[in-house]
Structure 1
């Protein structure tokens, strides 16, 4: 992580860093500490856009500046972008106070202008709305921002280091957005007791004496600042030879990454790494390090793939022979590159001298790359799914059955929540939102100004107000903000029947494939998901509501089938979860998807108890869809009856796919469908 952050500050055109890791791994602490070790910048005192006075090509909307204009030297800014920021706050917009009070059209810079020549940090970037992430990545790639809105036309430089941190448990970024980040790193807490104890020791030392603790590492910070500055100056001198460029292209092609962005980013990162190590030529070791940082997140083929890279294949592609470089000047050192940014010893509680000299040497294989994080039971690639022993059972038995895998997911039909919500931005149900189609105006001071409605509200009051010339006299109670209709994310709660009556292999494969397809749809629409299963004696909340759709897909894949059908228990558990989530976030509207064939078999009065549970659940007034898993020539239609009691839409499992909507199949009744 430290190396990736340093490389992207040496060469911001790399495109930023995405840090993925579990909670409590000091992601935010590390990013905030980065600004303190970067070289200071010089700016004009009256320039809100922080252009470089030493660069004659730099222009600012506040300029031009005279030769005797005051120049200041300040620290690099760390600008934090809150998850709830609006597009106006990011890009900048019309200065409302001056527009309304003075009739002047003046641009108020946004966060992108403030972050020029600095760091733009987005914590929990996976929770930021997709269009804002796109906007940030475009600005980071282009280095400039053009604003054409609200009667304002402004273009300014926006060359910043974009850093995003996220916890994968709270949901992933779409692969298209992942690809736009230059580098991605995975971080995990150390499992070695000595390292964990050292972290605690240093944290407690800092709490007792923050100033003294910082003084102990002042020299190391200063040395790191000098090394970054030296690497920046050396960057234009690094040569990317033809052999190195072809090797980068070979590696990217072999890993089947889409497009050419991976090749460009890998090349830029390799050059930056060579400059960081003080080399004049890109070597095999530089390419290997760059590939480990720039390719893993670009190999994802679908949203449920975990980022990763086969290092054995990478070493095989790079080969054992070094690239033919230009003869190096001076003696060639023979150390392995040292990419550590701090003390290496777990037990070293004090600073150590960093080696700032150029380093090179033959790549020794996997040891040159970043060390693998220790095994984490929460990561899919680090553990094999627990497979229950296959056992056979009849529909009324209590023994587990086979674990049936889902087939390839398909595009499902869109399921939405009834009415108009006010939840977080997403792509599922209609809602009042900060962006979208303007449908009206209302009073208030939060949101985008509806200028026409504001002027209309003030027009009828001009005769009773003092006016300056012909200007319209405005008051705060005249302000009207736009009411917009967009789309919101929802809580999609799956209640899945895994009993013996659903355990026929073909039928369970259909059901799992349908649920997997709906999960992938929830991923794309930024929904929160939960998973309840019922089989045997009771129901179980397998996955509490979360943004991590990947975990839900993994739990579904490992779900065994067999045993009795406690349908009532499943519905009551769903009611409990929905009531609890409604208390936690009243704005998050739920969509309940019940997947069952409707055959309750957990007792003599199972059907009656199931219908009573359905009536209780219907009283919560939650939009519900019953996905009917019943198949075969003889159908009882129990799921249809369940849907009627729930006030839910009845959807046969074969019609979950979007293509089924255009199929000429008669959908009037289950009996006619089977015929």
Structure 2
């Protein structure tokens, strides 16, 4: 009976070969470049689900060259150049050993002390020693740190990761620990844009970004399925069949890493990189630096000792698209025609070795990428569609913006009926219009009432895992930071009973532990219920309404909220967007939203109530904030007014925090939205007061009008 495989062998047999991945040339190239030169700053992989993002990243670790480390060093110091400030140092004498490159995976629910390390509580409470316990950044030094769904990770953790990737060091200042150690790693993050975006500041910190999409070519799709089924049926045999190609990639990576420090970046090429970045109007200088480093790595990967235009083109395609976003609703992209105009013709290519097996390569600006592994197998070469916004999930239509929805049908009058409780159903021949929103602006801060316990964010007050310390509590199963002073105070009265001698160590037991209670801000579910009826389209109010809602979406994006969109018009209410973290999708649905017909206010409120009920079951800790955008009229169906009041009182009974944005304009107003706010127990805000500076401007205007009268009164009194 054969001996069971070792853990390492078993893991290797379960890793899909890097050379066998089909249709992800840009992704493979980006991973290779940041592996050759970690100073590039990591890779962010954006794409729809099921596009082998995680498979490709895990496969890369198997082809990384072995790493020489100092034996016994927890921080994987390089024997040829040990870190002089290594917490495990000084390393004298240096004993060298070799180990495989590590792939460290960071789960979305990781905490700060697990990422950067913290005080070793066992040593602190048991022996009274201050000992540092390394975190994941130390474990990933000189290897790969992989974060799946990086857009769902807390922003402060993403900041820590990106700082370490950019500087090559991690600094820990917490709980009496002051330590800095080397953390030179390749940071790879993957995300699905449908689940929310990274804020622009974090997006810019990633060196390279790749858009991946499933190939549209049936031949290529069939090859993907064929290889995956062969791997699942017999992993060992499949991996063995690609062993030679994997070895060639591993050796080529080692040669590129040795060569990258000797590649020459001439003044002309550096000036060309600066011209390209300036022409694409990217903010800051990080784009220039990343493009230069990636171009050097690309030259080393191809065995060249000097950067060429082809290297700059390949680097710019990966380093610039995500830096051209001007607001959160812009999709990343790059005008490759403009890039070709700026770079001109490529330099004559010097002779170079062909890429091994199915090794990742780039198109060198020709728009063609051939899979050598497929060609060797006798299959015709196929090129997957280039990544871009048109291939991503954002281009999928939802039916709200199709031309047939926008064409107005003949009608004598698009206005709503004058009788609010009219019994007849809404006419089918009603004029629909699509108003374009204006430029989004900064809104006031609207919050949920009370103090919650939801996910850390930037909107409402909450007891969270980060923030200012407001008290202490006994351990309750929740992960919270240690409240050191409260722990000492709990232990102090019992020192005599526990036999502490004068000058001896503090005697602690498990029941003395106290955790800190911190108060910060949480993210909420912002559910927008938007009235899209004919009364809203009247007087061209819908454009202003869409602008206000778009501004609220921008605010929700910045505060890390989930958003949902309910629209109501005619005789029904529709959940146009189920609660999601992707405000881009919400913005598209809003922009294409047609308006016209009667106002089914009751249906809109009931649809919102049902949406909130289901979301409360899915995520009970996330508090909702309902934002109703309407003029308060109810004109659809029998007893429309009475039913809308009942629906409002039903929502109020659930205790949901609500806000009514009053869209009624003109000198003669009915105050229906204000009445709706009272019945909802909601705050009432005029449409013109949504902007952050509107109330201040109103006060200043009122004061300016009163000042002359005040001065006149004061003059008479004098």
- Fold-level similarity (TM above 0.5): yes
Q: Contact between 1:21 and 1:188, CA under 8 Å: does it hold in 2?
A: yes
SS at match of 2:330: coil
CA drift at 1:345? 5.3
Structure 1: gaps (5+ residues): 354-366, 669-675
CA distance in 1, matches of 2:225, 2:147: 26
CA distance in 2, matches of 1:111, 1:557: 43
CA drift at 1:456? 1.1
SS at match of 2:342: helix
The aligned runs of 1:382-401 (5 Å cut-off) are 385-387=401-403, 388-391=406-409, 393-396=414-417, 398=428, 399-401=430-432
1:121 matched to which residue of 2?
A: 146
CA drift at 1:108? 1.0
Spell out, residue by residue over 1:415-463, the C-alpha distance to the aligned partner (whole angstroms, 9 max, x if none). Answer: 1011111111110011111110000000116311111111111122233
2:585 matched to which residue of 1?
A: 551
CA drift at 1:661? 2.2
CA distance in 1, matches of 2:514, 2:354: 66
2:485 to 447, 452, 466: 452
SS at match of 2:575: strand
Q: Contact between 2:65 and 2:250, CA under 8 Å: does it hold in 1?
A: yes
Between stretches 391-400 and 500-509, larger displacement belongs to: 391-400
Cα 1:599–1:652 shift into 2, 3 Å: same
2:189 to 154, 164, 171: 164
Q: Contact between 2:216 and 2:384, CA under 8 Å: does it hold in 1?
A: no
Q: Contact between 1:306 and 1:380, CA under 8 Å: does it hold in 2?
A: no
The aligned runs of 1:384-533 (5 Å cut-off) are 385-387=401-403, 388-391=406-409, 393-396=414-417, 398=428, 399-444=430-475, 446-467=479-500, 470-504=504-538, 506-533=540-567
SS at match of 2:605: helix
2:259 matched to which residue of 1?
A: 234
Q: Contact between 1:42 and 1:73, CA under 8 Å: does it hold in 2?
A: yes
Cα 1:4–1:604 shift into 2, 3 Å: same
The aligned runs of 1:279-358 (5 Å cut-off) are 279-320=304-345, 322=347, 332=351, 340-341=359-360, 344=370, 348=374
CA distance in 2, matches of 1:411, 1:181: 26
Cα 1:601–1:19 shift into 2, 3 Å: same
CA distance in 2, matches of 1:311, 1:340: 24
Q: Contact between 2:102 and 2:143, CA under 8 Å: does it hold in 1?
A: yes
1:3 to 5, 12, 29: 29
Q: Contact between 2:370 and 2:383, CA under 8 Å: does it hold in 1?
A: no
CA drift at 1:317? 0.8
CA drift at 1:506? 2.8
CA distance in 2, matches of 1:603, 1:29: 54
SS at match of 1:148: strand
Q: Contact between 2:249 and 2:359, CA under 8 Å: does it hold in 1?
A: no
CA distance in 1, matches of 2:599, 2:609: 18
1:64 to 85, 90, 113: 90
CA distance in 1, matches of 2:443, 2:691: 4
SS at match of 2:108: coil
Q: Contact between 1:458 and 1:478, CA under 8 Å: does it hold in 2?
A: yes
Cα 1:373–1:436 shift into 2, 3 Å: closer
CA distance in 2, matches of 1:336, 1:601: 69
Spell out, residue by residue over 1:123-142, the C-alpha distance to the aligned partner (whole angstroms, 9 max, x if none). Answer: 11111111111111111111
Q: Contact between 1:288 and 1:318, CA under 8 Å: does it hold in 2?
A: yes
Q: Contact between 2:556 and 2:562, CA under 8 Å: does it hold in 1?
A: yes
Structure 2: gaps (5+ residues): 1-26, 362-368, 418-426, 703-718
Q: Is 1:50 matched up with 2:46?
A: no
SS at match of 1:485: strand
Q: Is 1:100 matched up with 2:128?
A: no
- Over the aligned positions, Cα root-mean-square deviation in angstroms equals 2.7
Between stretches 177-186 and 603-612, larger displacement belongs to: 603-612
Spell out, residue by residue over 1:31-70, the C-alpha distance to the aligned partner (whole angstroms, 9 max, x if none). Answer: 1111100001011221000011022566521112233x54
Q: Contact between 2:605 and 2:647, CA under 8 Å: does it hold in 1?
A: yes
SS at match of 2:289: helix
CA distance in 2, matches of 1:19, 1:184: 6
Q: Contact between 1:288 and 1:369, CA under 8 Å: does it hold in 2?
A: no
SS at match of 1:464: coil
Spell out, residue by residue over 1:394-419, the C-alpha distance to the aligned partner (whole angstroms, 9 max, x if none). Answer: 22455242100111011000010111
Between stretches 39-48 and 288-297, larger displacement belongs to: 39-48
1:659 to 683, 688, 693: 693
CA drift at 1:84? 1.7
SS at match of 2:669: coil
SS at match of 2:471: strand
Q: Contact between 2:571 and 2:637, CA under 8 Å: does it hold in 1?
A: no
CA distance in 2, matches of 1:44, 1:333: 36
